[in-house]
Amino acid sequence: MAGLSREGDTIAAISTAPGKAALAVVRLSGPESFAVAAKMVDGALPAPGTFAHRRIKDVSGRVIDDALILAFAAPKSYTGEDAIEFQCHGGGVVPARVLGVCIANGARLADRGEFTYRAVMAGKIDLDEAESILDLINAKTVKAADDAISGMGGGRKKEALRLYGMAIDLSALMEHSLDVDEDELPEGFFAMLDGKMLDFKTALEAALERERRSKILRDGVTVVLSGPPNSGKSSLMNALLGENRAIVSPEAGTTRDAVDAWLEVDGFPVRLIDTAGLRETDSPVEAEGVRRARSMAESADIVVNLGAAKRLGNGAGEGAKTILVHSKCDLSRGEGLNVSSVTGEGLDQLRTEIAARIAQLERPDDSRHAGAYAWACAEIERDGGNPELVIRANTMRRIGDALAELVGAVYSSDMLSRLFSRFCVGK
C-alpha cells in the first residue's frame, strides 16, 4: 500500500481490463492531475465537473488517440482529489500509450487499490465500503454482486449499528436495575430483560449467518468430482457445465490433470474440479494424477463421489462433505443419488444437494464483523444467563464496547446519552 511520503503524488493507472475492447479508462488523481493532463491534450481541458472530446498527444506532440476527457476538481471526485479520466480507445496499445504519456508528464504509476485507498483517506468512503467495492469487482455471480452492493449501500454497517443499539439498550436496562431498588422496577422487568437478551442473541446469530454467507459468496466453494476410472466424472463435469470442458472416453484413466471450471449453484460460485480416476497404476503419470485427485478431494469443501465408498478406500468416499452418486443410471440404478449425464436425470437433484451442503458449510470468517459477532455470541452463551445481574451487566458492557469499536462509535458518551434519555434519570 502507498507509503505516507508518496501520498501527495499524482498517480495514474488503466482502470479497465486489458484486451481487445472498444474503450478503456485511464485515471489520473492527485494535485498535478490537471497540469499533467493539460500537457496531453490538444486544446483546453474541460471545466471541472464536465467532459470534452480532445485529441491526446504524446510528449513529442504526436496524436495517439481521440478521447473523452472527464475532469473532477477536489473534493468532488472518487478519491477526493483533483482527478482526470480519459475514456480512450481500448485494445493492447492505446491505453498503455495514454498511461505512458501520463507518466512521462510527471504522474506515477498507482499502486494496487491506491485510488480506493485515497478515497478512504479522504473520507469519501469508509473501510466497509472499500471492502464492498472490492467484493463487487470480484463477484463471480449475480448473488455475490447483490451482496456486495448491499454492503456498499451500508447494509453491513446498518446491521452492526442495529446490534450495537440493542446492546446498549440492554446494557442501559441492566445498569438501571442495578442502580435502583428492586421494588422500584416495573413488574415483569426481569422477564422483559430475558426476552430482550434472547432477541439480541438471535439477531447476533442471524448477522453471523449473513457474514458466513457473504464470505462463501466472496470466496466460492470447491466441489471435487471423485471416483474410480470410467465412472463418468468428466461426463458429469460437462453435463453440469453444459459444455464440453473435459475429455471423455471409454478408456479407463483418461483424466490425469485436474480440470476445473466455475459453475453457479443457487447463486453461489462453485469451482468444479474433475480429477483422475482413483486406482492402483504402474503409470507414473497416472499415479501422479491419482495422488493429486486424492489431495484435492481432501481439501475440497464438497466431494461428489461417483463410486461406492468402499471401492475408494482412504476415506475419500465417506464424510459429511461427500455426496454419493450412482452414475450412468440410464444403464443401471444403485446406491446414492442416481444421475445420468446422458439423459440428464438427477442433475437437478445433484445441484440441490450441493446447495444444501453449501448451506451447512463451516467457513471460518476472518472479517472484523464476523469476529465481533462470534465473540459476542460466545460471551452471551457463557454469562448471558448468569443469575448475578452484575455479571450480566458487565458482559453486556463489554459486548457494547466491542460493537462500538466495530461501528466506530464512542461507547461511553453514546452509552450515557442513551441511558439518560431513556430513563430520565435526572435525579
Cβ at position 290, least distance to ligand GTP in Å: 9
Stretch of residues binding ligand GTP (CB under 6 A), selected from 25-33, 92-100, 174-182, 242-250: 242-250
Cβ at position 285, least distance to ligand GTP in Å: 13
Residue with smaller CB distance to ligand GTP, 13 or 240: 240
Say which amino acid occupies 336.
G
Decide if 236 contacts 329 (C-beta within 8 A). no
Indicate whether 249 belongs to the interface with ligand GTP (CB under 6 A).
yes
Q: Of 340, 357, 372, 406, which lies in the binding site for ligand GTP, with binding defined by CB under 6 A?
A: 340
Indicate whether 46 belongs to the interface with ligand GTP (CB under 6 A).
no
Stretch of residues binding ligand GTP (CB under 6 A), selected from 96-104, 338-346, 357-365, 409-417: 338-346
Residue nearest to ligand GTP (CB): 277
* Residues 191-230 contacting ligand GTP, CB under 6 A: 229-230
Residue with smaller CB distance to ligand GTP, 182 or 251: 251
* Residues 121-180 contacting ligand GTP, CB under 6 A: none
Residue with smaller CB distance to ligand GTP, 306 or 376: 306
Pick the closest to residue 260 from 249, 250, 275, 248 (CA basis).
275
Cβ at position 270, least distance to ligand GTP in Å: 18
Number of neighbouring beta carbons within 10 Å of residue 343: 12
Indicate whether 305 belongs to the interface with ligand GTP (CB under 6 A).
no
Indicate whether 317 belongs to the interface with ligand GTP (CB under 6 A).
no
Q: What Å distances lie between residue 420 and 145, 151, 168, 174, 215, CA to CA?
A: 42, 32, 12, 13, 39
- The residue to which cell 450495537 is assigned: 164
* Residues 256-295 contacting ligand GTP, CB under 6 A: 276-277
33 binds, among ligand GTP, Mg ion, none (CB under 5 to 8 A by kind): none
Q: Of 47, 252, 390, 416, which lies in the binding site for ligand GTP, with binding defined by CB under 6 A?
A: 252
Residue with smaller CB distance to ligand GTP, 79 or 235: 235
- Left if phi > 0, otherwise alpha if psi is -120 to 50, otherwise beta: which for 275? beta
Q: Of 116, 171, 235, 305, which lies in the binding site for ligand GTP, with binding defined by CB under 6 A?
A: 235
Cβ at position 288, least distance to ligand GTP in Å: 14
Q: Of 165, 253, 267, 371, which lies in the binding site for ligand GTP, with binding defined by CB under 6 A?
A: 253
Indicate whether 326 belongs to the interface with ligand GTP (CB under 6 A).
no
Residue with smaller CB distance to Mg ion, 248 or 404: 248
Indicate whether 307 belongs to the interface with ligand GTP (CB under 6 A).
no
Cell numbers of 149, please?
452492493
Q: Of 250, 284, 364, 426, which lies in the binding site for ligand GTP, with binding defined by CB under 6 A?
A: 250
Site residues for Mg ion per CB under 5 A? 233-234, 254-255
Pick the closest to residue 14 from 2, 28, 1 (CA basis).
28
Distance CA 200, CA 192 (A): 12
Indicate whether 79 belongs to the interface with ligand GTP (CB under 6 A).
no
341 binds, among Mg ion, ligand GTP, none (CB under 5 to 8 A by kind): ligand GTP
Q: Of 330, 383, 401, 405, which lies in the binding site for ligand GTP, with binding defined by CB under 6 A?
A: 330
Instruction: Give contact residues for ligand GTP (rule: CB under 6 A).
Output: 229-235, 248-250, 252-255, 276-277, 327-328, 330-331, 340-342
